[in-house]
């Protein structure tokens, strides 16, 4: 079994799982956490494309900045809005 | 590989083959026993012996051993020493008696244990250079056996996931920091013996970037207004100082042309060379080509130094963990080993930042090798193995500790900066300074100066 | 090149797995050494000894979000500068390359000044 295929299956499985959790988690902060996990595993998949630079830039820009942006935006609202369950998935 | 004492992959491969050889002998014994008991020959364990001594499993075990050795080296060895240095230095700076006392400072101990001929040596003199090295270990043991309290109506999953993220991103820093020409995890060896790792510094920057997210989640998940405030401020501070960090590294890259820590150290091992534009080049043979000796890069060095202090959340930038104000800031609600992890790994980030400064500006592990001692080689009998006196790991560790001493010195002499002043410095002062540094570097390099 | 990349990143992947397992391991070690016994008084959040009142999710000032947006913008710009710096040694003779990067830095400088002038008073 080719090591590359195994790595791709594991990473993409993690990514799809994290993406599903992003969309279906109940609390907003959990969504952001799973989004960060998704972005980090995407960086891993970039490594399989032999694109190392893009992979590390993905971690610096995406996993480092975008979830923080989301969290700051979430925390600008008050708790009642944060705790309401989602209506449409 | 002259000058490097430890060849990590070589040694771990040898250790792994030795351990697997022991395993193979045990399996052979089991095989022989089963043959005696009447199993058909060859015995049932024969295939497993071949598997155990084969190359793939040996390399896997070798890599696992190498990772563990590096992690132990960085955490158990350096973390303990660095925490000890900090305690001794700040207690001497602040003239605190307790921490500085030595074993011989108490009269009772001096008169009783100090009288014993050989063992009583440390107890004989009253001195300030005491030990106290095991205090950190005792702290760790204490934290291990404390109860973990989860605050009421805190977000359980995030509360326990945040220290895992902080620990993972901090330990991930040490993948890309090599400690010598042989002591590294991430890299590949070229046919001519050199080691390359094209994007090493970028990996370190990436690991520093994941920190604001995990601190924010930690502060939020504790269900405490003050930790939330501390977490938001910490995230704002860490984000504000990342841009000047990246930009000052860019100013260096204009000169160096590479992000490879091995290549950077190789470039800095040459003698000091200044280009003077139309006047030719000047070479000073007795100084190495460290980038700190290059006047154009002084602004970049100062900016990078300040951003590393801010990224490690040290005083004067430790408003997120301000001890007199927010108790422990965003870590208030953590107890037991969770607190131990986030607290202790602050020092690991300081070590990684100091290592980065050493690699980028101070020449990494390059240093004079005074002599080579030849001792018999255990692995291949009949050959001699050279041990360089003052190996590369020693020079690198020396530089890291020197930079860390400067961190402690600054930290315990300067008052704490308020959060809006921190953001002010980060955005309005350091960012234009680092842009200026890039511009200067471009101009200088473009015209052939320096 | 391909096998070289995998050979280089296999230890990295193992290292990442170890760094994720290490804190989880300490969690289990702590649980073995001391049982959790939560109680109503122990679980109160810490506010310097007083009984905490009010909700924990206070509303924050908008300026945090502004700084996060400025951070994202400058992060991406810094990545472009990094790309240029890595390949700058090949372009030293050319004036066009130098002029374009000088223009980029100048625009970034002006943009920094404008964006941060609006954040003159910091509420954070």
Domain containing C27: what range? Answer: 2-117
Is the CB of residue A75 less than 8 Å away from at least one CB of chain B? yes
Computed over every residue of chain C, the mean pLDDT equals 81
Query: Is residue A34 one of the residues assigned to a domain?
Result: yes
ipTM: 0.89
Give how far C100 is from chain B: nearest CA, Å.
12
A22-31, B97-106, B293-302: which has the minimum mean pLDDT?
Answer: B97-106
**End-of-domain residue from the set B97, B113, B131:** B97
Query: Is residue A89 one of the residues assigned to a domain?
Result: no
Query: Is residue B68 one of the residues assigned to a domain?
Result: yes
The CA-to-CA distance between both ends of chain C, in Å, stands at 49
B157 and B52 fall within a common domain = no
Q: Please spell the DSSP secondary structure of B377-398, one letter per residue.
A: -SSSTT-EEEEEES-HHHHHHH
The predicted pLDDT at position C63 comes to 85
Q: Per the structure, how many domains does chain B have?
A: 2
CB atoms A65 and B210 under 8 Å: no
Please state the φ and ψ torsions of residue B388, each to the nearest 5 degrees. -75, 135
Does the pLDDT of residue B323 top 60, yes or no? Answer: no
Query: Is residue C6 one of the residues assigned to a domain?
Result: yes
Query: Is residue C109 one of the residues assigned to a domain?
Result: yes
**End-of-domain residue from the set B62, B97, B132:** B97
- The more confidently predicted of residues B41 and A66 is A66
B91 and B150 fall within a common domain = no
Query: Is residue C123 one of the residues assigned to a domain?
Result: no
Query: Is residue C68 one of the residues assigned to a domain?
Result: yes
Mean pLDDT within B234-255: 92
Closest CA to B342 of B353, B332, B352: B332
What is the CATH classification number for the domain harbouring A16?
Answer: 1.20.120.1200
Query: Is residue B128 one of the residues assigned to a domain?
Result: no
Query: Is residue C101 one of the residues assigned to a domain?
Result: yes
Q: Residue A12: how many CB atoms within 10 A of its CB?
A: 15
Spell out which residues of chain B touch residue A72, defining contact as CB-CB under 8 Å.
232, 235
Q: How does pLDDT run along chain A (89 residues), one tens digit per residue?
A: 678 888 899 999 999 999 999 999 888 889 999 999 999 999 999 998 888 899 999 999 999 899 999 988 888 876 655 555 555 44
Which secondary structure element, helix H or strand E, spans residue B404, and what is its range? Answer: helix B392-411
Q: What is the DSSP letter of B276?
A: B
Give how far A77 is from chain C: nearest CA, Å.
6
Is the CB of residue C1 less than 8 Å away from at least one CB of chain A? yes
Bond prior to A59 in cis (omega within 30° of 0): no
Query: Is residue A56 one of the residues assigned to a domain?
Result: yes
Using CA coordinates, name the residue in chain A closest to C4. Answer: A50
Computed over every residue of chain B, the mean pLDDT equals 85
Give the tokens for residue B87.
């305690």
3-class SS string, chain C: CHHHHHHHHHHHHHHHHHHHHHHHHHHHHHHHHCCCCCCCCCCCCCCCCCCCCCCCCCCCCCHHHHHHHHHHHHHHHHHHHHHHHHCHHHHCCCHHHHHHHHHHHHHHHHHHHHHHHCCCCCCC
Query: Is residue C122 one of the residues assigned to a domain?
Result: no
* Residue B389 CB partners (closer than 8 Å, separation 6+): B369, B370, B371, B372, B373
Q: What is the pTM of this model?
A: 0.90
**How far apart are the C-alpha atoms of A55 and B260, rounded to whole Å?**
16
Mutate to test the interface with A, among C1, C3, C4, C5 (most CBs of A within 10 A): C5
CB atoms C105 and B435 under 8 Å: yes
CB atoms B147 and C86 under 8 Å: no
Spell out which residues of chain A touch residue B246, defining contact as CB-CB under 8 Å.
60
Query: Is residue C23 one of the residues assigned to a domain?
Result: yes
CB atoms B210 and A27 under 8 Å: no
Q: Per the structure, how many domains does chain A have?
A: 1
Mean pLDDT within B256-266: 91
Q: Is B42 helix (H, G, I), strand (E, B) or coil?
A: coil
Which of B203, B205, B217 minimises the CB distance to A29?
A: B217
**How far apart are the C-alpha atoms of B4 and B338, rounded to whole Å?**
36
Q: Per the structure, how many domains does chain C have?
A: 1
Is the CB of residue C30 less than 8 Å away from at least one CB of chain B? yes
Query: Is residue B59 one of the residues assigned to a domain?
Result: yes
- Exposure on the CB side of residue B426, measured as CA atoms within 13 A: 32
B261 and B340 fall within a common domain = yes
**How far apart are the C-alpha atoms of B249 and B304, rounded to whole Å?**
8
**How far apart are the C-alpha atoms of B65 and A53, rounded to whole Å?**
28
Domain containing A39: what range? Answer: 3-83
Q: Please spell the DSSP secondary structure of B283-331, one letter per residue.
A: EEEEEE--GGG-GGGHHHHHHHHHHHHHHTT-TTS-GGG-TTTSTTGGG
Using CA coordinates, name the residue in chain C closest to B418. Answer: C124
Is the CB of residue C35 less than 8 Å away from at least one CB of chain B? yes
Q: What is the CA radius of gyration of chain A?
A: 15
Is the CB of residue C53 less than 8 Å away from at least one CB of chain B? no
Using CA coordinates, name the residue in chain A closest to B215. Answer: A68
Query: Is residue A88 one of the residues assigned to a domain?
Result: no
Domain containing B173: what range? Answer: 146-446
What is the CATH classification number for the domain harbouring C19?
Answer: 1.20.58.1610
Query: Is residue A78 one of the residues assigned to a domain?
Result: yes
Distances (CA, A) of B139 to B322, B340, B344: 21, 9, 10
């Amino acid at each position: 079994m080719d090591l590359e295929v195994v790595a791709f299956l594991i990473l993409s499985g993690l990514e799809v799982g994290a993406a599903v959790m992003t969309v279906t988690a109940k609390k907003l902060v959990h969504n952001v956490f799973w989004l960060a996990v998704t972005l980090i595993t995407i960086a891993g998949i970039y490594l399989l494309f032999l694109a190392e630079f893009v992979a590390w830039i993905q971690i610096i820009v995406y996993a480092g900045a975008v979830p923080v942006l989301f969290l700051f935006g979430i925390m600008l609202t008050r708790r009642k809005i944060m705790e309401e369950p989602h209506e449409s998935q | 590989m002259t000058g490097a004492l430890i060849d990590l992959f070589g040694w771990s491969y040898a250790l792994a083959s030795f351990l697997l050889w022991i395993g193979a002998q045990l399996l052979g014994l089991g095989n022989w026993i089963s043959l005696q008991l009447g199993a058909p020959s060859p015995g049932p364990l024969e295939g497993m012996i071949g598997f155990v001594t084969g190359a793939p499993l040996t390399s896997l075990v070798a890599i696992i051993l190498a990772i563990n050795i590096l992690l132990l080296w960085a955490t158990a060895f350096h973390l303990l020493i660095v925490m000890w240095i900090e305690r001794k230095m700040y207690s001497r700076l602040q003239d605190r008696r307790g921490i500085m006392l030595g074993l011989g400072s108490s009269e009772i101990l001096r008169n009783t244990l100090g009288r014993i001929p050989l063992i009583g040596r440390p107890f004989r003199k009253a001195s300030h250079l005491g030990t106290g090295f095991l205090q950190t270990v005792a702290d760790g043991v204490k934290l291990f056996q404390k109860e973990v309290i989860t605050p009421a109506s805190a977000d359980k999953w995030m509360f326990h996931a945040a220290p895992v993220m902080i620990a993972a991103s901090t330990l991930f820093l040490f993948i890309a920091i090599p400690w010598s020409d042989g002591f590294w995890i991430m890299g590949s060896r070229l046919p001519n013996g050199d080691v390359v790792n094209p994007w090493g510094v970028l990996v370190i920057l990436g690991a520093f970037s994941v920190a604001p997210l995990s601190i924010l989640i930690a502060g939020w998940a504790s269900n405490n207004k003050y930790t939330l405030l501390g977490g938001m401020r910490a995230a704002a501070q860490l984000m504000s100082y990342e841009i000047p960090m990246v930009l000052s590294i860019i100013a260096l890259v204009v000169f160096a042309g590479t992000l490879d820590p091995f290549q950077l150290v190789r470039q800095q091992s040459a003698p000091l060379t200044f280009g003077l534009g139309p006047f030719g080049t000047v070479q000073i043979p007795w100084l190495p080509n460290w980038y700190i000796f290059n006047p154009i890069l002084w602004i970049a060095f100062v900016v990078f130094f300040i951003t590393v202090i801010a990224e490690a959340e040290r005083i004067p930038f430790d408003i997120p963990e301000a001890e007199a104000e927010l108790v422990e800031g965003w870590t208030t609600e953590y107890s037991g080993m969770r607190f131990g992890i986030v607290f202790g790994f602050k020092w690991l980030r300081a070590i990684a930042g100091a290592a980065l400064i050493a690699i980028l500006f101070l020449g990494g592990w390059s240093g004079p090798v005074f002599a080579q001692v030849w001792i018999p080689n255990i692995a291949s009998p009949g050959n001699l193995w050279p041990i360089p006196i003052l190996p590369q790991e020693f020079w690198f560790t020396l530089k890291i500790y020197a930079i860390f001493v400067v961190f402690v010195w600054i930290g315990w002499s300067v008052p704490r900066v308020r959060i809006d002043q921190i953001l002010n410095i980060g955005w309005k002062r350091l960012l234009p300074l680092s842009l200026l540094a890039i511009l200067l570097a471009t101009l200088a390099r473009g015209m052939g100066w320096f | 090149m391909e096998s070289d990349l995998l050979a280089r990143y296999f230890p990295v992947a193992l290292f990442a797995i170890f760094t994720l397992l290490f804190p989880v391991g300490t969690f289990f070690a702590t649980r073995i050494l001391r049982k959790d016994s939560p109680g109503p008084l122990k679980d109160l959040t810490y506010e310097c000894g007083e009984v905490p009142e009010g909700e924990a999710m206070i509303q924050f000032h908008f300026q945090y979000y502004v700084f996060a947006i400025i951070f994202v913008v400058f992060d991406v710009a810094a990545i472009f500068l990094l790309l240029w710096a890595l390949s700058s040694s090949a372009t030293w003779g050319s004036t066009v390359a130098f002029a374009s990067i000088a223009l980029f830095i100048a625009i970034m400088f002006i943009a920094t000044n404008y964006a941060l002038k609006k954040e003159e008073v910091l509420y954070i």
